[in-house]
Amino acid sequence: MVTEIHSLRCENATNPLGIDVARPRLSWQLAGDQRGIAQTAYRIIVADSLAQLATNKGNIWDSKLVTSNESLWRHYKGPALQARQRYYWKVIVWDERNQRTQWSEPAFWEMGLLAEADWQADWITPDIEVDKEPMQPCPLLRTAFAAADDLVSARLYVTALGLYELQLNGRAVTSDCFTPGWTNYHKRLQYQTYDVTAQVSAGPNALGVMLGDGWYR
């Protein structure tokens, strides 16, 4: 009888970016070649690198053996997580015969911006009183920046009052629509995190944004 662990998720997403809850919830599923598979216990480890995770020792957190049949929404209970850091994790379970499975394949989550101080940006606003102007075309914003030759990773953290559409070096950053999504703009704004490592070139780059009113006005 072979039991495997699959579909590892953090906050119900596969390898998500921009997690901004202090204690993320982890989930997984079991599959096997016979009926009646049941989990009786599990162990989760979390590490700061794939190399460390491969040693089967969690240098960030080790849940130790937890007697439970639950495999959904298991809270991370380790030390405080750091903004913009990636964490790797995997899980092993014991089945109804008290037989231990193999470790799952690695998964990860990446923390977002956890505090106001983590934002290193200012709002971009026009010089005119937009609310007093007649209906206008969608504003287009553009900026240029330079990237080093030894770039390892690049992220875009973005939000807007209304809707936005992003392009980096002439290519769409995402297929998402109606971002950042509706909220009560006086109280809360959602933001998105995008991995743009593959789109950023060494040397000069250009970022363009088209804005729309959406639900804002």
Q: Indicate whether 12 and 105 sit together in one domain.
A: yes
Domain coverage including residue 105: 3-110
Contacts of 196 (CB under 8 A, 6+ apart): 154, 155, 156, 168, 173
Question: Among 77, 110, 143, where does a domain finish?
Answer: 110
Average pLDDT, the chain: 93
Q: Indicate whether 182 and 96 sit together in one domain.
A: no
Question: Among 66, 87, 110, where does a domain finish?
Answer: 110
> Which of the four pLDDT bands, split at 50, 70 and 90, describes residue 164?
very high
Q: Indicate whether 93 and 141 sit together in one domain.
A: no
Per-residue pLDDT at 138: 87
Q: Quick one: average pLDDT of 87-114? A: 96
Rounded CA separation 18/198 (Å): 18
Residue 151 near residue 202 (C-beta atoms within 8 A): yes
Question: Among 65, 85, 110, where does a domain finish?
Answer: 110
Q: Indicate whether 194 and 173 sit together in one domain.
A: yes
Instruction: Report the 10 Å Cβ neighbour count for 96.
Output: 13
> Which of the four pLDDT bands, split at 50, 70 and 90, describes residue 88?
very high
Q: Indicate whether 141 and 86 sit together in one domain.
A: no
**Global confidence as pTM:** 0.90
Q: Indicate whether 7 and 106 sit together in one domain.
A: yes
Per-residue pLDDT at 127: 76
Tell me, what CATH number does 12's domain have? Answer: 2.60.40.10
Q: Indicate whether 52 and 127 sit together in one domain.
A: no
Give the model confidence (pLDDT) of 20-65 as tens digits.
999 999 999 999 888 888 999 999 999 999 999 999 999 999 999 9
207 in any annotated domain = yes
Residue 43 near residue 31 (C-beta atoms within 8 A): no
Contacts of 208 (CB under 8 A, 6+ apart): 140, 141, 142, 166, 167, 168
Q: Indicate whether 97 and 129 sit together in one domain.
A: no
Number of domains the chain is built from: 2
Share above pLDDT 70 across residues of the chain, in percent, rounded to a whole number: 96
